[in-house]
Amino acid sequence: MPKLKPGHLSPTTEEDALISLGIADDPDNPEVDDDWFAGARPASEVLPELFGPEVAAEMLKPRGRPKLDNPKKRINIRLSAEVLDYFKSTGRGWQTRMNDALIQFIHERPHR
C-alpha cells in the first residue's frame, strides 16, 4: 500500500459502507468492475466515433513541451558564492544565462 500523505484521513468502516450504498443507489454512476474494464476501449478508438476524426486528433495530441533532441542533463555542481550571486542577481533564467556563458567559453577557446 502506498505511503499516505500527512493529514490523510481514511473513511471509517461506517462511512465506507455509506459511500458504497450511495454508489449502489446511483444508476447514472455505477461502480466499475472487472467486466466493465474488460469491455473498455482506448480513447484513440472511441473518440473518433464520438466526435469525428479531426476533433479526436486534436484531443489526442500530446500535451506539454515537445521532446528535445538534445535535452539538458541534470547535475550537481559546487560553485563559488560570487558566481552564484552574480547569475541569480540577473533574475529569472539565470541558469540558462550561466549555460550560455559556459557555451561561449567553450567556443572562444580551442580544445586542448
Q: Give one word for 93, left, alpha or beta, with left for phi > 0 and alpha for psi -120 to 50.
A: left
The DSSP call for residue 6 is T
pLDDT in tens, the chain (112 residues): 678 899 999 999 999 999 989 888 898 888 888 999 999 999 999 999 999 999 999 999 998 988 899 999 999 999 999 999 999 999 999 999 999 999 999 999 977 6
The DSSP code sequence of 16-84 is: HHHHHHHHHT-TTSPPP-HHHHHT---HHHHHHHHH-HHHHHHHTSPPSSPPPSS----------HHHH
Domain containing 33 equals: 13-59
Number of domains in the chain: 2
User: Same structural domain for residues 50 and 87?
Assistant: no
pLDDT at 50: 95
Q: How far apart are CA 48 and CA 44, in angstroms?
A: 7
Within a domain: 1: no
User: Same structural domain for residues 50 and 76?
Assistant: no
pLDDT at 112: 67
Within a domain: 36: yes
Judged by DSSP in three states, 92 sits in coil
- Reported pTM: 0.45
Within a domain: 3: no
Within a domain: 92: yes
User: Same structural domain for residues 17 and 52?
Assistant: yes
Within a domain: 7: no
User: Same structural domain for residues 29 and 53?
Assistant: yes
